[in-house]
C-alpha cells in the first residue's frame, strides 16, 4: 500500500531527476537515464551516446553523468532531504553509476542546498570574457568545492605554465582537426535546427571567420557557418584558468570529478561569473601527458576551465523527460 509519505518521496525524487537533466555534458550529448523507484533514484550512463572518436574511453561521458548526480544531490538538499549515495554499487550493472536514496539518518547539506538556483543560471559561455581578474577569494571557494567532492583544483598562475598551456592547446586543437573522423563526429553533434533537443546549437557558438584571436583555442562548433555569437572571442592564457582532476584515472574517478566539476560550476555561477571548458589539451594523449609533466602535476587533469565575466547566452535545450526518465512502482 502506497502511503502519502511514499508519494511525497517519489515526487521529490522525480523533481531531483528533472533538475539533474540540466547538468552540462560533453557536446550536450546528455548521456544519461534516470529511474525513479521505491525509495531511490538510479542514475544510469547511456553508452549509446558516447563520442567514439573524441571520448573512446568514456571519460567525458562519465564526467557528464557525474555532473547530473551532483545536480540531483543539490535538488534533494534544497528540498530538505538528507541522502545516501551508492556509486557503482552493482558490479553486474556497470551502467548504473549512482543510486541516491533519501535517508532520515542524514541531514540535508546546506552548502549544497544554496546552489540550487544556480542550476538554471549555470551555462557554458563561449563569448569573449571581460578583462577582469578573478579574485583569489573566489578561487578559494572553488578549490573548497572541488575538495568537498574528492578532487583537486589547480589554478594556473605562473607565466611559464600559461605559455605551456597555450602551446599544448594549439597543438591539441590542430591534431584533432586533422582527423576526418573527429570532424564528422563534431558535425553530427552540432546543429542550426532550433527544434533539436541535444547537441550544440548554433545560437550557443561563435561565428568562425578566423578573427577570433584565440591564444587558447575554443572548439570550433560552427560546422555550418551559422554561429550566432560574435566572432571575436579572444580566449587567452592571461585569463583565469583552472585545471580540475583526481589522483586516479578510472571510471570511478571520472565520475567523482564530474560531481566536483558541477559543484565548481554552480559556485562559479552563484558568485556572478561564467565559464567555458577548454578540453582539447586533455583529450589528446600526447598533450595530456606533456601537460602533466611540464606543470608538475601529481593529479590526473580531466578538464581545463576558463572563468570570467561575459553577457549570458541562450540556454541550450534538453531532451524530453519521456526519453530519459522512467518511474518504476
Encode pLDDT of 133-158 as tens digits: 999 999 999 999 999 999 999 999 99
Instruction: Examine residue 244 and state whether it is found in any structural domain, yes or no.
Output: yes
Instruction: Examine residue 124 and state whether it is found in any structural domain, yes or no.
Output: no
Q: Residue 82 pLDDT > 90, yes or no?
A: yes
pLDDT of residue 50: 98
How many domains in the chain? 2
CA 61 – CA 32 distance, rounded (Å): 9
Do 169 and 289 fall within a single domain?
Answer: yes
Chain center to CA of 262:
6
Do 87 and 215 fall within a single domain?
Answer: no
Do 299 and 183 fall within a single domain?
Answer: yes
Label the pairing between strands 240-246 and 300-308: antiparallel
CB-neighbour burial class of residue 156 (10 A; exposed 0-12, middle 13-18, buried 19+): middle
- Average pLDDT in the 303-315 region? 95
The pLDDT > 70 percentage for the chain reads 98
Question: With bands split at pLDDT 50, 70 and 90, how would you rate the model's confidence at 224?
Answer: confident
- Average pLDDT in the 165-182 region? 97
234's torsion region: left (phi>0), alpha (psi -120 to 50) or beta? left
Do 16 and 153 fall within a single domain?
Answer: no
Strands (E), 217-259: 240-246
Do 184 and 68 fall within a single domain?
Answer: no
Exposure string of 102-135, with b = 16+ CB inside 10 Å and e = fewer, is: beeeeebbeebbebbebbeebbbbbbbbeeeebe
Instruction: Examine residue 128 and state whether it is found in any structural domain, yes or no.
Output: no
Do 166 and 292 fall within a single domain?
Answer: yes
Give me the chain's average pLDDT, please.
94
Instruction: Examine residue 38 and state whether it is found in any structural domain, yes or no.
Output: yes
User: Collapsing DSSP states into helix, strand and coil, what is residue 252?
Assistant: helix
Q: What is the CATH number of the domain that holds 211?
A: 3.40.109.10
pLDDT of residue 240: 96
Write out pLDDT tens, residues 30-69.
999 999 998 899 999 999 999 999 999 999 999 999 999 9
Do 231 and 320 fall within a single domain?
Answer: no
- Average pLDDT in the 253-280 region? 97
Instruction: Examine residue 297 and state whether it is found in any structural domain, yes or no.
Output: yes
Question: With bands split at pLDDT 50, 70 and 90, how would you rate the model's confidence at 6?
Answer: low
Instruction: Examine residue 235 and state whether it is found in any structural domain, yes or no.
Output: yes
Do 92 and 141 fall within a single domain?
Answer: no
Instruction: Examine residue 126 and state whether it is found in any structural domain, yes or no.
Output: no
pLDDT of residue 237: 84
pLDDT of residue 231: 84
Residues in the chain: 329
Instruction: Examine residue 127 and state whether it is found in any structural domain, yes or no.
Output: no
User: Collapsing DSSP states into helix, strand and coil, what is residue 117?
Assistant: coil
- Which one, of 36, 31, 44, 146, lies nearest residue 89 by Cα? 44
Chain center to CA of 309:
18
Do 65 and 166 fall within a single domain?
Answer: no
The domain in which residue 13 lies consists of 4-118+316-327
Amino acid at each position: 500500500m502506497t502511503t502519502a509519505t511514499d508519494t511525497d518521496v517519489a515526487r521529490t525524487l522525480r523533481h531531483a531527476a528533472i533538475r539533474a537533466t540540466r547538468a552540462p555534458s560533453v557536446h550536450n550529448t546528455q548521456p544519461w537515464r534516470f529511474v525513479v523507484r521505491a525509495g531511490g533514484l538510479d542514475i544510469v550512463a547511456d553508452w549509446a551516446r558516447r563520442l567514439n572518436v573524441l571520448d573512446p574511453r568514456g571519460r567525458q561521458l562519465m564526467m557528464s553523468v557525474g555532473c547530473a548526480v551532483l545536480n540531483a544531490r543539490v535538488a534533494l538538499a534544497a528540498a530538505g532531504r538528507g541522502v545516501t549515495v551508492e556509486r557503482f554499487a552493482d558490479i553486474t550493472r556497470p551502467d548504473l553509476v549512482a543510486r541516491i536514496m533519501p535517508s532520515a539518518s542524514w541531514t540535508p547539506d546546506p552548502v549544497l542546498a544554496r546552489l540550487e538556483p544556480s542550476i538554471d543560471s549555470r551555462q557554458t559561455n563561449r563569448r569573449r570574457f571581460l578583462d577582469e581578474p578573478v579574485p583569489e577569494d573566489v578561487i578559494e571557494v572553488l578549490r573548497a568545492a572541488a575538495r568537498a567532492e574528492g578532487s583537486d583544483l589547480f589554478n594556473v598562475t605562473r607565466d611559464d605554465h600559461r605559455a605551456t598551456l597555450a602551446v599544448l592547446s594549439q597543438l591539441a586543437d590542430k591534431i584533432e582537426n586533422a582527423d576526418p573522423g573527429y570532424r564528422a563526429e563534431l558535425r553530427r553533434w552540432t546543429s542550426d535546427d532550433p527544434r533539436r533537443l541535444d547537441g550544440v546549437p548554433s545560437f550557443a557558438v561563435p561565428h568562425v571567420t578566423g578573427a577570433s584571436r584565440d591564444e587558447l583555442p575554443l572548439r570550433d562548433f560552427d560546422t555550418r557557418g551559422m554561429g550566432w555569437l560574435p566572432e571575436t572571442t579572444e580566449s587567452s592564457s592571461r585569463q583565469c584558468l583552472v585545471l580540475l582532476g583526481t589522483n586516479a584515472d578510472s571510471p570511478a574517478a571520472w565520475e567523482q570529478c564530474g560531481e566536483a566539476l558541477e559543484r565548481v560550476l554552480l559556485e562559479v555561477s552563484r558568485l556572478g561569473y561564467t565559464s567555458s571548458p577548454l578540453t582539447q589539451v586533455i583529450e589528446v594523449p600526447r598533450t595530456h601527458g606533456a601537460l602533466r609533466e611540464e606543470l608538475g602535476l601529481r593529479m590526473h587533469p580531466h578538464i581545463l576551465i576558463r572563468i570570467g565575466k561575459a553577457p549570458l547566452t541562450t540556454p541550450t535545450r534538453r531532451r524530453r523527460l519521456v526519453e530519459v526518465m522512467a518511474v518504476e512502482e
